Amino acid sequence: MIASAATRPTTDEYIPYYGRYISLVPEDDAIEALERPLGDMIPFLGGLTDTQGALRYAPGKWSIKQVVGHVIDVERVFAYRALRIARADRTPLPGFDEVVFADHAASDRLPLRALADELELLRRANVAMFRGLPEEAWTRRGTANDAPISVRALAYVIAGHGRHHANLVRERYLSA
């Protein structure tokens, strides 16, 4: 990987909605941004019990296990988008309904440790994929969910989305 190409995306590489996730990523290198949470989020999740994993901060809200399942699903979809765009596939990529995914993932039936392990393995695989991209792939742009996005923006969205949900778990679920 050439570090010069894996830098912070410019605002014309993604729609404004994704700025909320990208703004949570202070690193100027996409690989570092993806690797850093492994040292924080995975041990944090591993330190929670299955009883804590079943917590919901309000009626009708996802449990912590469902939040982790959601982060896994979104990371898979966004990494797939990044791969397709990095490989110069010009096919517009469809959106997906994360609520439907969460409803059908049945994450609550799994041990929280298993979900944390899956997230760690997925992130390590995605870091390897991004690390292996040629320089020119990082700035390639494609269309996903009817919106333009670049490969490096997708890397930052993945990193920021996970951080967003880790923050929510700490603030809304475990602060009481």
pLDDT of 67-94, one tens digit each? 999 999 999 999 999 999 999 999 999 9
Is pLDDT at 4 greater than 80 in this prediction?
Answer: no
For the segment 116-133, the average pLDDT, to the nearest whole number, is 96
User: Which of the four pLDDT bands, split at 50, 70 and 90, describes residue 2?
Assistant: very low
Domain that holds residue 60: 3-173
pLDDT digits (tens, 9 = 90+) for 145-174: 999 999 999 999 999 999 999 999 999 998
Total number of domains in the chain: 1
> Tokens for 18?
């994704």
Query: Bridge-partner residues for 147, per DSSP?
Result: 144
Residue 22 pLDDT: 98
**Within a 10 A sphere around the Cβ of 164, how many other Cβ atoms?**
16
Quick one: average pLDDT of 37-64?
A: 90
Would you state the torsion angle of the CA atoms of residues 17, 153, 166, 47, taken in this order, to the nearest 10 degrees? 160
pLDDT-based confidence at residue 117 (cuts at 50, 70, 90):
very high
Higher pLDDT, 39 or 83: 83
167-175 long-range contacts, CB within 8 A, separation 24+: 167/24, 168/67, 169/64, 169/67, 170/44, 172/57, 173/52, 173/55, 173/56, 173/57, 173/64, 174/52, 174/55
The structure tokens listed for 58 are: 């309000």
* Whether 83 contacts 129, CB under 8 Å: yes
Confidence grade of residue 41 (pLDDT, cut at 50, 70, 90):
confident
Arithmetic mean of pLDDT, 94-100? 97
Domain with residue 17: its CATH number is 1.20.120.450
- Residue 44's pLDDT is what? 86
**Helices of type H across the chain:** 19-22, 30-35, 41-46, 50-53, 64-86, 98-105, 112-131, 151-168
Residue 61's pLDDT band, with cuts at 50, 70 and 90, is very high
